[in-house]
Amino acid sequence: MPRNAKTAKSAATIERTADAVASPQASGDHGEAAAIARARTAGLRRALGINAVRIVLIAVWLGSWELAARHWIDPFYYSMPSKIWERLVGWFTDGTSQGSIWEQISVTLQEAVAGFALGAAGGVVLGIVLGRSRFLSDVCAPFIKAVNAIPRIILASLFIIWFGLGMQSKIATAFVLVFFAVFFNAFQGAREVDRNLVNNARILGAGRMQVLWTIVVPSATSWILASLHSAFGFAIIGAIVGEYTGADKGLGLLINHSQGVFDAAGIYAGMIIITVLALLAEWLLTLLEGRLLRWRPSVAGTDIQI
């Protein structure tokens, strides 16, 4: 609880200064309501302070980069923030070397989302089935370990040969990356189901399928959701690497092309777009998680301290 203690302390300091400056006569007579109001302002101020420091950090980082690129390092290799910004603006206004930027984004997103959906569905189903069947998991264990040991990125080359330069090969690459990430979590989640809960459900009259749907799946949900966060990142990696290996459209191709013409700013710009996409997906997943795991106790320390 050190974080808690710190929050309380900083809130207390802010309260005290606020008291001293703004309301010397307020102490005591307002009671509860005033204390709550003060705690709320303290919380707001704290959030404001955190964001201010973040903005300063970004400004310092970008400023020093820009300055260094203008005076000491070669912007041809390392590029600089103003050039990257120019490249981004150019892509969105005039289009890229491969055509409209929106088309590239949409292609990459479609590949990532399709690979993610298929991989997650496959991983969850197989993970839960193997997690619940001792026999099947014993049979499959060495194969799964072997397949998991393959550096899966290499499969992208194979998929290009199998499925061609179109979307399928990228979806396949994203699929294998997502599948294993989700599979192992679903497997573990299905395996670690509390025996007590299963026995209780059986006594209450549940059949095998009812145990699966009402006990195993909900128990494994928090494991699975945890893996989905990193899995979407993997899906994007899969799509980009697939495009990088060989494609006719997409952000990966754009980055590959930028590399081909020694355009460092283009690589950075592509990176920024991908990061924004990944953060948006992360945000959506967090929303989903919040909905599905409403029953969980809230994490300690998020309450405003009074």
User: How many binding residues for another protein (CB under 8 A)?
Assistant: 21
With CB under 8 A as the contact rule, the residue among 72, 142, 297, 299 that binds another protein is: 297
Determine, following the binding rule CB under 8 A, whether residue 203 of this chain makes contact with another protein: yes
With CB under 8 A as the contact rule, the residue among 41, 82, 188, 214 that binds another protein is: 214
Nearer to another protein by Cβ, of 222 and 230: the residue is 222
**Contact range with another protein by CB under 8 A, out of 24-32, 42-50, 156-164, 292-300:** 292-300
Nearer to another protein by Cβ, of 71 and 208: the residue is 208
Nearer to another protein by Cβ, of 138 and 194: the residue is 194
Longest dimension (CA), the chain: 79
Determine, following the binding rule CB under 8 A, whether residue 300 of this chain makes contact with another protein: no
Please state the φ and ψ torsions of residue 99, each to the nearest 5 degrees.
110, -165
To another protein, the closest distance from the beta carbon of 292 in angstroms equals 9
Distance CA 236, CA 281 (A): 10
**Contact range with another protein by CB under 8 A, out of 9-17, 194-202, 230-238, 262-270:** 194-202
Nearer to another protein by Cβ, of 194 and 248: the residue is 194
With CB under 8 A as the contact rule, the residue among 32, 196, 261, 299 that binds another protein is: 196
Provide the CA 89 distance to its chain's centre, in angstroms: 26
Determine, following the binding rule CB under 8 A, whether residue 192 of this chain makes contact with another protein: no
Q: Are 214 and 154 in contact (CB under 8 A)?
A: no
Determine, following the binding rule CB under 8 A, whether residue 197 of this chain makes contact with another protein: yes
**Contact range with another protein by CB under 8 A, out of 178-186, 190-198, 231-239, 252-260:** 190-198
First-residue to last-residue Cα distance in the chain: 16
Binding site for another protein (CB under 8 A): 194, 196-197, 199-207, 210, 214-215, 218, 221, 293, 295-297
